[in-house]
Structure 1
Amino acid sequence: MARRLGVAPSTLRSWDRRYGLGPADHEPGRYRRYSERDLGVLQLMCRLVGQGVAPAAAAAAARAEGGRDAVMAPVADHAHGPVGERRSRARLVRGVVDAAQRLDGDAVTDAVGQHLSEHGVVATWQQLCRPALTALDRRVAETGGSIDAQLVANWAISTALRSVGPPQGAGSGPAVGGQVLLACVEGEQHTLASEALRAALTEAGIPARTLGPSVPESALVEACRRTRPEVAVLWSQTLTTARPQVLRAVAAAAGSVLALGPGWSGLDLAELPESVDTTDDLPAALHHIARRCDPGVVVS
């Protein structure tokens, strides 16, 4: 059961002792044998804790629900003030990491989707997604395992980001001018940060097109010539994919170029056209694009 839920056996024993979330028919001194109903209760407990709900409140809700519906509205957590907020965020991150560890992609999508609806794209990416992904990266580096959890987290976060729609009353479809072109440079398969930026632009009402992972230089230049974007954003995760000549080629066909991602960290802007800029920060990228495309747009 512990492996199925992605928690430690000691956690299950603690939840049984503290909150009465053990098997309904358990006899002292004998093995704990869980029914499907018990499983539903514990799955709901895991999801609520993952959403930042205090364990006692989550246990009360899980017992009351009786495992009938493992997807329900979160219970309010009454921690107030900066310390309470930090602890709540830490629980949310831990919950997403734990859900990914047990390969529960739906739980990750639900947690990220709820945070998006309450706090917006930038806050969700900065406070929830990036810390959770960093924690999973660290586990892979330390243990050599958890790659499956990484893949689940990436898929689930991407799913949640793609659900973000434009502001109420905004038109649909890319505009003829003033749009943004997003792409990962050739050899770059990491798309999640680019997807987060696209979701943030959509939320701000700034039209954007995306070309996806590993786009060849010739395709980038041709796309810029066809669409004439105000800003072409090129993502690079690693130094091996960050080739300055790509920026020069695209700069000749786009209004401006934003080199986004840690791969460009060693870039010497003095050797590139003035229309090329760089950043490794989602809020900074969003503000840069907003100033270029529509100075009247206010982004938070």
Structure 2
Amino acid sequence: MPRAHLVTSVSNVPLTVTGISVKLGVSPSTLRTWERRYGLGPTDRQAGSRRRYSTADIEALTHMVNLVRSGVSASDAAAVVLAQRSTTYPLSDDIAVPEIRDIVDAAQVRDLQRLEKYLEASIASEGLVRTWSNLIEPALDTILSSEEGQEPGCSPSAMLTLAVLKILAAIADARPDSATSQQESVFVVADSDHALAAHIVGVALNLRGIFTTVMDTQSHGNQKASERLNSHLHTKSPKIIIIMGQGARCERLVSLSLTEGDAHILLVGADSPSVLDSRIQRMRTLTACVEETIALVTTSRQSKQ
């Protein structure tokens, strides 16, 4: 999908917030909101001097404005811009946004570099969560549903998972400083079928400046998932718990979260446990989950100001 270029001519001269406001046609309050919520502020801050936006900052905000004016939500636009900041190598202009078949083909021939480039191209254009929903998850389903199976030692699904995790690690390095604060922490609990999606959610929230950690529902050693969750609830006191999974084990974790903590709980997926409680919200998609979490954290932060 080609980007909408609605703002052009980026200056090489550092600008103040007022200068950026005039140049991009965005109010200073909106710019400050984007900085506070998404970390899209001046990257070079010197004590005792007025903050100025560098050329790279201006380019990032220009892209942000273009996306928002083309109909992308501010949170999704910020995720795209932050993902581009984290790119570890330049993308060639001739790399088009891939289709599901492109991802499957690259995974089947074990072309890790091509997979990474495809994923970065899609994230730069569509955003992280949409890339998962529209590209990665369908590609994994296509690979895993093949009647031919996978050759031993040659797992296209594992290759695609590795590429996704490498991209997520690069993107996570671009998270704003506010994502290290545990004041409004989020805890994502996922079964094995949703493990990769849980990391997608975690990185997407980190990019919005929300501290997030992920735990699986399996037993490890002599410790059950319920024991690890109980310990986390009492030591970290997460404000929001996202549970991704199905079955009796996930249902027990939901019940434990309700009895041992006071966190808001989001259940993700149509097959999530059927537990009724005023603190529980059901989210059918990852996009809805991320957006609702951002809204809850934003409301909590504003109430403390």
* TM-score when normalising by structure 2: 0.59
Write out aligned runs for 1:92-171 (5 A): 92-139=99-146, 142-145=147-150, 148-165=155-172, 170-171=176-177
- Residue 150 of structure 2 aligns to a residue in which SS? coil
Structure 2 CA distance for aligned equivalents of residues 296 and 167 of structure 1: 24
User: How many residues of Structure 1 are paired with residues of Structure 2 in the alignment?
Assistant: 205
Aligned pairs (5 A) from 1:1-300? 73-76=91-94, 91-139=98-146, 142-145=147-150, 148-165=155-172, 170-171=176-177, 174-185=180-191, 188=192, 190-212=194-216, 214=218, 216-236=225-245, 239-240=246-247, 242-252=249-259, 253-261=261-269, 263-264=271-272, 267-270=273-276, 273-295=277-299
**Could you tell me how far 1:211 is from its partner in structure 2?**
2.7
What is the CA deviation profile of residues 64-85 of structure 1, one whole-angstrom value per residue up to 9, with x for unaligned ones? xxxxxxx9743447xxxxxxxx
Q: Is the 8 A contact 1:258 1:279 kept in 2?
A: yes
How many Å apart are 1:293 and its aligned residue? 1.3
Aligned to 1:64: none
Shift of 1:296: 8.7
- For residues 233-266 of structure 1, what are the alpha-carbon distances to aligned partners after superposition, in whole Å with 9 as ceiling and x for unaligned? 1221xx44654222011123141122224541xx
**Deviation of residue 276 (structure 1)?**
2.1
Contact map agreement 2:243 2:250 (CA 8 A) in 1:
no
1:74 alignment partner AA? S
Q: Is the 8 A contact 2:251 2:275 kept in 1?
A: no
Q: Residues 139-183 of structure 1: CA distance to partner in whole angstroms, max 9, x if unpaired? A: 2xx222367111111111122122214777x31553131110112
Output the CA distance in 1 between the equivalents of 2:137 and 2:294: 23
Letter in 1 for 2:187: L
The CA distance in 2 between the partners of 1:110 and 1:72, in whole Å, is: 9
Instruction: Give the aligned residue type for 1:225.
Output: H
Q: Is the 8 A contact 1:225 1:254 kept in 2?
A: no
CA–CA distance in 1 between the matches of 2:174 and 2:297?
17
1:278 and 1:167 map into 2 onto residues whose CA distance is 30
Partner of 1:53: none
Amino acid at match of 2:115: V
Distance 1:125 1:280 in 2: 14
Tell me, yes or no, if the aligned pair for 2:206 and 2:212 is still in contact at 8 Å.
Answer: yes
User: Helix, strand or coil for the counterpart of 2:187?
Assistant: strand
Unaligned runs of 5+ in 1: 1-70, 78-87
> What is the aligned-residue RMSD (CA, Å)?
2.8
Residues 178 and 207, structure 1, Cα contact 8 Å, conserved in 2: yes
User: What is the identity, as a one-letter code, of the residue corresponding to 1:112?
Assistant: L
> For 2:198, what is the secondary structure of its paired residue?
helix
Q: Structure 1 residues 75, 241: closer, same or farther in 2, change over 3 A? A: farther
Change (3 A) 1:110 1:213: farther
Q: TM-score, normalised by structure 1?
A: 0.60
Distance in 2, Cα, partners of 1:181 & 1:210:
6
Q: Could you say which structure has the greater relative contact order, defined with CA pairs below 8 angstroms and 6 or more residues apart?
A: 2
Check 1:240–1:296 CA distance in 2 against 1; reply closer, same or farther (3 A cut).
Answer: closer
The question of whether the paired residues in 2 share the 8 Å contact of 1:198 and 1:208 is answered with: yes
Give the 3 Å change call, closer, same or farther, for CA 201–217 of structure 1 in structure 2: same
Percent sequence identity is 17
Return the offset for 1:231. 0.6
